[in-house]
Structure 1
Amino acid sequence: MKKKVSIIIPIYSAETYIASCVQSLFDQTLADIEYIFVDDCSLDDSISILKRILEDYPARKGHVKIIQHKENRGVATTRNTGLDNATGKYIGWVDADDWIEPDMFEKMYNSAESKQADLVWCNFRMTFTDSSYENQQQVAEDSKVYLLSLIKGEMQGMLWNKLIRREIFLENQIRFLDENNLGEDRNVLIKVLFYCNNIIHLEELLYHYMQFNIGAITRDMTPRRVYEEINNTRDIVCFLREKNVSWIPDSDLQNFMFRSKRKLLYTTDLIHFEKWANIFPESNRLLYKSYLGMRHKIVGFLAIYKIKGPLRLWINIKKRYQTSKT
């Protein structure tokens, strides 16, 4: 029989944090949960720890799927594997280095059922080494308003504080963009919101987002990751244009494109500056009134007009400075 909720947990070398995550999952007050752990070729004992903890929860054993990739595929493909194996009426997401309140999915499921919601989201606490604060996720309970707030950068695009009706994914063939692992959740969330009729904000702190993991992909700002975010942005823009979404101002869409490529201006390789100028070129006019610092506006100008001599000089100075700091 179909479960009420499927929870998808991507795993990659999370042995330091996974115990508290798994315990909080198995301690959920909602009994009818399907757990889908997708191991993307972890290099540590994450799965051994998971299996050891599972022995303490015999009632959960029949509800657990552990799927292991034969090769490392990245979080986007890992999420797709989770979707392929989910059978619940609703889908939730938890990152392996976070933990959740024991009644999180019972409260979110009950809220979704009582109000016939396609999507429910809750508040969360961000915890750092020396501080923490609650993020209240305030936005109108309107899918268009929420979608626009994501485009404008006013809301973050995480999935782990959401419960989403699985039929939204199935009916509209919503998938993550394989091998593009930065901004992949925002890409999917925007598409989900486009198809949602009713969304609900549960004003309770139920998710704990832990910022101790220095290896987390969100901290990886290498050019490869920037291009992955750009690809997800391009996919979103194509989707919105194909759907003739006219209620998003073009100025907001161009700002969205500009923000996704801005980190290429922080690199130390001429090819990335050249690519920056040619990616979403219609957004280049926003350079001069952007929040970027003056030096990045200058190198952006040099890149747009292909003035390579000063660019090379800037790159050499930056490389020498970085070398001197190490």
Structure 2
Amino acid sequence: MKTMHYKVSVIIPVYNASRYIPRCVESLMRQTLREIEYIFVEDCSTDGSFDILLKTLEAYPERKDDVKILRHGKNMGVSVSRNDGNAAATGDFLIHCDSDDWVDVTMYEKMYNQVIAEDADICICDYYNVTKSGTTRIHPEIDCKQAQWKVVRDYIRWYWNSLWNLLVSRRAYERCGVTIPEDITFTEDFFLSCHLFMAARKVTAVNEPLYYYYLENSASIIHNLNPGFMKQELSCVELLIESMKAKGVYEYYFRIMQWRLLKANAALVFTNRFEEFRSTHPESLRYILSVPSTYLKPKVKIMLLLAALHLDFICRWDNRRHGRT
């Protein structure tokens, strides 16, 4: 039996997604592109996700040989799942899909055709934010016709960096040579996707919303933020800055990375850790007023500015008034 050559590998980390995995799997199995392999990485779920995954896959026997299932013996975290999925992939291009989301049935065919037509390393697409009140189309503000360093700048400036709307060539992954640190389980998409953009020689786009990003999953990490996650975000930014310096390109992205540092450090102000805020990357404080509102809302910027000016008593009063501490 001849082994299929896969054009696309889809990596799907699975953890406690029993309510959502059937919808996700069905949208993946119905893809119009035939040469796809699916790599499900089951991270020791406790809600029966694995059994539901297997049951849902039974309805698509024609895709049976295209499915790989990796199963962790203990919960390892999403970053390990992503890394393991990437390592197991054999396709010419890789993309991720979160198990509580779903995709348009034409997504991977359209993105693959576009990336091949443009001889690009990355194709990015629009997506929908999905809530109980409906869907909102999101268009990443990236001009792919610019010089590549400017494309990277636009992507790093974009406030929501993910792996699920990026189709990335294997050669870009190889040039990138980066895996996600295993202790980072928040903003891990930002860490890897920015490195991939810096490794890409050309980026293209499909200006259609093809991915459905579900925002109503109460178990999702975005609904369970804590200071530990903010610390992980800071680590991601710091590691990315180190990479930029090593590549000699930090000057191109300096201001944006200062905004990123401020965003990651904002939680310190709201937990009355003012000295720590001022002493952690103090050079970033001069950029508070220029931070886009997509990163920090005006009220947050005011609080950060007050802390930078040592007006801690006002911040303490506001934190107490809103029950933050």
TM class by shorter chain equals 0.7 to 0.9
Query: Is residue 73 of structure 2 the alignment partner of residue 65 of structure 1?
Result: no
Contact 2:16 2:48 in 1 (8 A): yes
Aligned amino acid, residue 24 of structure 1: S
User: Where does residue 192 of structure 1 map in the other structure?
Assistant: 196
Contact 1:18 1:49 in 2 (8 A): yes
Contact 1:169 1:175 in 2 (8 A): no
2: CA distance, partners of 1:146 / 1:276: 31
Secondary structure at 2:252 match in 1: coil
Larger mean Cα displacement after TM superposition, 52-61 or 275-284: 275-284
Query: Is residue 108 of structure 2 the alignment partner of residue 105 of structure 1?
Result: yes
Residues 234-245 of structure 1: pairs in structure 2 closer than 5 A: 234-245=238-249
Aligned amino acid, residue 195 of structure 2: K
User: Where does residue 234 of structure 2 map in the other structure?
Assistant: 230
Secondary structure at 1:9 match in 2: strand
Query: Is residue 18 of structure 2 the alignment partner of residue 15 of structure 1?
Result: yes
Residues 89-128 of structure 1: pairs in structure 2 closer than 5 A: 89-128=92-131
User: Where does residue 149 of structure 2 map in the other structure?
Assistant: 144
Contact 2:24 2:103 in 1 (8 A): yes
In the alignment of these two chains, the number of paired residues is: 313
Contact 2:18 2:52 in 1 (8 A): yes
CA RMSD of aligned residues (A): 2.4
1: CA distance, partners of 2:279 / 2:96: 35
2: CA distance, partners of 1:59 / 1:159: 27
Query: Is residue 62 of structure 2 the alignment partner of residue 54 of structure 1?
Result: no
Contact 2:255 2:287 in 1 (8 A): no
> 1:172-193: per-residue Cα shift (whole Å, max 9, x none)?
3121122212221111111111
Per the TM alignment, residue 285 of structure 1 is displaced from its structure 2 partner at its CA by: 3.0
TM-score by length of 2: 0.88
Question: Which of 42, 47, 60 is equivalent to 1:44?
Answer: 47
Per the TM alignment, residue 289 of structure 1 is displaced from its structure 2 partner at its CA by: 6.4
Secondary structure at 1:248 match in 2: helix
Per the TM alignment, residue 155 of structure 1 is displaced from its structure 2 partner at its CA by: 4.5
Structure 2, unpaired ranges of 5+: 292-297
Per the TM alignment, residue 47 of structure 1 is displaced from its structure 2 partner at its CA by: 1.2
For the structure 1 residues 257 and 317, does the alpha-carbon distance in structure 2 shift closer, same or farther, using more than 3 Å as the test? closer
Secondary structure at 2:132 match in 1: coil
Query: Is residue 264 of structure 2 the alignment partner of residue 263 of structure 1?
Result: no
TM-score by length of 1: 0.87
Per the TM alignment, residue 201 of structure 1 is displaced from its structure 2 partner at its CA by: 0.7
User: Where does residue 180 of structure 1 map in the other structure?
Assistant: 184
User: Where does residue 306 of structure 2 map in the other structure?
Assistant: 298
Per the TM alignment, residue 103 of structure 1 is displaced from its structure 2 partner at its CA by: 1.2
Aligned amino acid, residue 153 of structure 2: L
1: CA distance, partners of 2:95 / 2:277: 35
Larger mean Cα displacement after TM superposition, 245-254 or 224-233: 245-254
1: CA distance, partners of 2:289 / 2:31: 50
Larger mean Cα displacement after TM superposition, 105-114 or 225-234: 105-114
> 1:215-266: per-residue Cα shift (whole Å, max 9, x none)?
2112332000000100000011101111000551533332222222212222
For the structure 1 residues 275 and 76, does the alpha-carbon distance in structure 2 shift closer, same or farther, using more than 3 Å as the test? farther
Aligned amino acid, residue 119 of structure 2: Q
User: Where does residue 295 of structure 2 map in the other structure?
Assistant: none
Per the TM alignment, residue 9 of structure 1 is displaced from its structure 2 partner at its CA by: 0.5
For the structure 1 residues 301 and 214, does the alpha-carbon distance in structure 2 shift closer, same or farther, using more than 3 Å as the test? farther
For the structure 1 residues 318 and 88, does the alpha-carbon distance in structure 2 shift closer, same or farther, using more than 3 Å as the test? same
Aligned amino acid, residue 150 of structure 1: Y
2: CA distance, partners of 1:114 / 1:313: 56
> 1:56-86: per-residue Cα shift (whole Å, max 9, x none)?
1111111111111222222112111111111
